[in-house]
Amino acid sequence: MKSRLLRRHRPLNRRSAKAHGLVHHPLHGLSKAERNRRLVSLGLSRHDDEALQTAALAIVERFRKWTDRAPCCVTGWRTGEVHELEGQRYQVFVQWAHIQRTRGAYGADFGNAVPLVDLLHRQQEHDAWFFARRGLVAGVLAHAHAVRFFAAHPDDAAWIIQHAADGDVVALATAGLEAR
């Protein structure tokens, strides 16, 4: 009897999953360390139920995408706009910036991230007094940004209140629901 070689199937990436009409799973493509960092930012752990982990990571991903579409907290510019900066025309790209500890250092996402133009984000990473020099309080900006997210996404806020173990995140979600 001849043995048949079994062909191993590669996991679907975002493009091929979309082509097959599938939704990309938020856990796919993340290293174990990155997944654990995201869960810790919500007060969850890798020992929690996988459905719980998936829901939590989907909320964090929605927050990241929402932050990327928000106007910069310093300039008010949005992604895609063109502005003159230091004598040159510049197409704006807004990205989320952590104000204290980053994910790699097990920092939180909610209440710790704000939208910044990419040029300012690079400056902020190397300047501990970035916000203070501009008369801004980074913690207040980040908390207000998270509250606006939860006010715009009440289902996510309700899920966080019910499942997250981190009291700070729960407080931000509660404030977001009250702000509606």
Domain boundaries in the chain? 28-179
Residue 7 has pLDDT above 50, yes or no: no
Which residues sit opposite 97 in a β-bridge? 114
Taking only Cα atoms into account, the Rg of the chain, rounded to an integer number of angstroms, comes to 19
The residues, any chain, with a CB within 8 Å of residue 97's CB and separated by 6 or more, are 113, 114, 115, 116, 121, 124, 125
CA distances from 138 to 47, 81, 174 (A): 33, 24, 21
What span, in angstroms and rounded, lies between the C-alpha atoms of 114 and 168? 16
pLDDT confidence tier of residue 138, bands split at 50, 70 and 90:
confident
Spatial contact of 169 and 42, defined as CB atoms under 8 Å apart: yes
**Nearest of 56, 50, 61, 63 to residue 24 by alpha carbon:** 61
pLDDT tens for 67-97 read 989 999 999 999 999 988 778 888 889 998 8
**Furthest CA-CA distance within the chain:** 78
SS3 94: strand
**For 53-57, 73-77, 120-124, 134-138, which range has the lowest pLDDT when averaged over its residues?**
53-57
* More confident of the two residues 44 and 72: 72
pLDDT confidence tier of residue 114, bands split at 50, 70 and 90:
very high
Structure tokens at 137: 């309080």
SS3 82: strand
Dihedral of CA atoms 21, 25, 30, 31 in degrees, nearest 10, equals -120
Structure tokens at 47: 């020992």
